């Protein structure tokens, strides 16, 4: 953590309500990416820190794109696709927006986000507060209308609307997929948030199969030949660290059976006694690595694995890559490490580019 950010964190952010601090930091990042004058200033100031280029050392060929660096931003930070450019300027190799739901929704009542300072973690029960898939799709459409916006690798993470009963989940996910597929480099079906009642039950393969099938059809229809984003959009599923090993295997088998493109592992854990919501940050690292290694063993080299959970430094990313991940993401340590966190990690990785289990590394 830089000394300046350490002082800012101790003196200002730590004293603020965590969600307010997030909103403040978020609006600065959003503006740095959208206001042209600010963008030039910030890009100029960050230039010495940002070495990675698509095709340069450390870049990864995946999803039919070259991802400039293997460490990206995890779902939940930019739920409405407002700050994709600003986040990329901070050095994330790619950005996953969402979770987005078909219907706009306010999320759970506040407070719903807590710092767990002793473990440098966060606990949250946000409940997919977001402006809905149509709003996010419109922002991604605008992003893709510029060359700089098209160059960014963006995933879209979709979840079930709270008002939708479980039996209607496939159609609800399909609505979001149809809207977002034309503008996304990959889609993630999130069935692992602990904060929408019953959502994690959708990880059971008999519930998951119809959802993934409906999303595949909707994405294909939305990106058919002759449409704006004509191509086959890769489809991944995001799973919880709390699944039993046999259930991780069952998801992997379903990925192979349905010809899915990969898995994002892992979401927050409910395996703690700190209060309501899912815990994230360093306590997740061990189980995250275990789940990724298990998935890679079961999946073989084909499907993409995005490893997430407890990454604080470049060595943690290296551990995920060794376990079999192709790409990695983080969220919680951004809060504690500050604005140079992603670029520090990706620069360290670029200097020591190696190989992953699947050989997609440049």
Ligand X SMILES: Cc1cc2nc3c(=O)[nH]c(=O)nc-3n(C[C@H](O)[C@H](O)[C@H](O)COP(=O)(O)O)c2cc1C
The whole-angstrom distance between residue 209's C-alpha and the CA centroid of its chain comes to 22
The mark string for 75-94 relative to ligand X (x by CB under 6 A, - otherwise) is: xx--x---------------
- CA dist 25 to 62, 103, 319, 345, Å? 30, 26, 29, 20
Query: By C-beta, is 176 or 190 nearer to ligand X?
Result: 190
Among 42, 60, 74, 199, binds ligand X (CB under 6 A): 74
Cβ neighbours, 10 Å, residue 13: 19
Nearest Cα residue to 310 out of 341, 279, 338, 274: 279
**Sign of the torsion angle spanned by Cα atoms 240, 246, 251, 256:** positive
Kindly state whether residue 105 participates in binding ligand X, applying the rule CB under 6 A: no
d(CA 312, CA 340): 12
Q: Figure out which of the listed residues 101, 190, 203, 346 binds ligand X, where binding follows CB under 6 A.
A: 190
**Ligand-binding site membership of 157 (annotated):** yes
269 in contact with ligand X (CB under 6 A): no
Least distance to ligand X, CB of residue 137, Å: 17
Q: Which of 102, 103, 99 shows the shortest CA–CA distance to 127?
A: 99
The minimum distance between CB 232 and ligand X, in angstroms, equals: 22
| Catalytic residue check, 145 | no
Look at residues 89, 188, 92, 100 and name the one whose alpha carbon lies nearest to residue 139.
100
| Contact call for residue 309 and ligand X (CB under 6 A) | yes
Q: Is 124 in the site for ligand X (CB under 6 A)?
A: yes
Q: What is the DSSP letter of 240?
A: -
Shortest spacing between CB 334 and ligand X, in angstroms: 8
- At its nearest, how many Å lie between ligand X and the CB of residue 214? 19
* Pick 334 or 361: Cβ nearer ligand X: 334
From the list 210, 79, 227, the residue with the least C-alpha distance to 155 is: 79
Among 170, 262, 281, 338, binds ligand X (CB under 6 A): 281
Say if residue 328 carries a ligand binding annotation: no
Q: The tokens of 157 are what? A: 């993470």
CA 215 to chain centre: 18
Q: Is 346 in the site for ligand X (CB under 6 A)?
A: no
Residue 298 structure tokens = 């079961």
What are the structure tokens assigned to 22, written together?
Answer: 């997030």
Q: Which residue in this structure is represented by tokens 């295997």?
A: 249
Of 43 and 207, CB closest to ligand X:
207
Q: Does 199 bind ligand X (CB under 6 A)?
A: no
Q: What residues are annotated to the active site? A: 193
Binding region for substrate:
79, 124-128, 190, 195, 267-268
Sites of contact with ligand X (CB under 6 A)? 74-76, 79, 99, 113, 122, 124, 126, 128, 157, 190, 193, 238, 267-268, 280-281, 284, 308-311, 330-333
């Amino acid at each position: 953590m830089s000394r300046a950010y350490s002082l800012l964190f101790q003196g200002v952010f730590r004293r603020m309500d965590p969600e307010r601090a997030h909103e403040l930091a978020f609006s600065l990042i959003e503006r740095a990416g959208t206001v042209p004058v600010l963008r030039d200033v910030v890009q100029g100031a960050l230039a010495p820190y940002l070495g990675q280029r698509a095709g340069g050392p450390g870049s990864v060929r995946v999803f039919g794109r070259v991802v400039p660096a293997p460490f990206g931003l995890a779902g939940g930070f930019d739920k409405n696709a407002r700050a994709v450019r600003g986040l990329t300027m901070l050095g994330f190799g790619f950005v996953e927006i969402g979770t987005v739901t078909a219907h706009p929704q306010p999320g759970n009542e506040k407070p719903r986000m807590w710092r767990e300072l002793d473990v440098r973690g966060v606990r949250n029960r946000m409940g997919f507060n977001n402006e809905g898939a149509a709003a996010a799709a419109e922002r991604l459409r605008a992003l893709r209308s510029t060359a700089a916006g098209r160059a960014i690798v963006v995933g879209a993470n979709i979840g079930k609307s709270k008002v939708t009963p479980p039996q209607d989940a496939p159609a609800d996910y399909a609505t979001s997929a149809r809207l977002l597929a034309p503008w996304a480099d990959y889609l993630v079906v999130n069935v692992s948030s602990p904060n929408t009642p019953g959502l994690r039950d959708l990880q059971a393969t008999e519930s998951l199969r119809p959802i993934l099938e409906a999303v595949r059809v909707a994405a294909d229809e939305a990106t058919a030949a002759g449409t704006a984003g004509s191509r086959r959009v890769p489809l991944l599923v995001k799973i919880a660290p709390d699944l039993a090993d046999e259930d991780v295997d069952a998801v992997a088998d379903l990925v192979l059976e349905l010809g899915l493109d990969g898995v994002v592992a892992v979401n927050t854990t409910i395996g703690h006694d700190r209060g309501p919501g899912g815990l994230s940050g360093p306590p997740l690292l061990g189980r995250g690595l275990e789940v990724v290694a298990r998935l890679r063993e079961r999946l073989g080299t084909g499907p993409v694995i995005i490893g997430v959970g407890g990454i604080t430094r470049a060595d943690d990313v290296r551990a995920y890559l060794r376990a079999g991940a192709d790409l990695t993401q983080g969220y919680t340590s951004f809060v504690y490490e500050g604005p140079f966190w992603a670029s520090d990690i990706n620069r360290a990785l670029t200097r020591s580019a190696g190989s992953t289990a699947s050989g997609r590394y440049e």
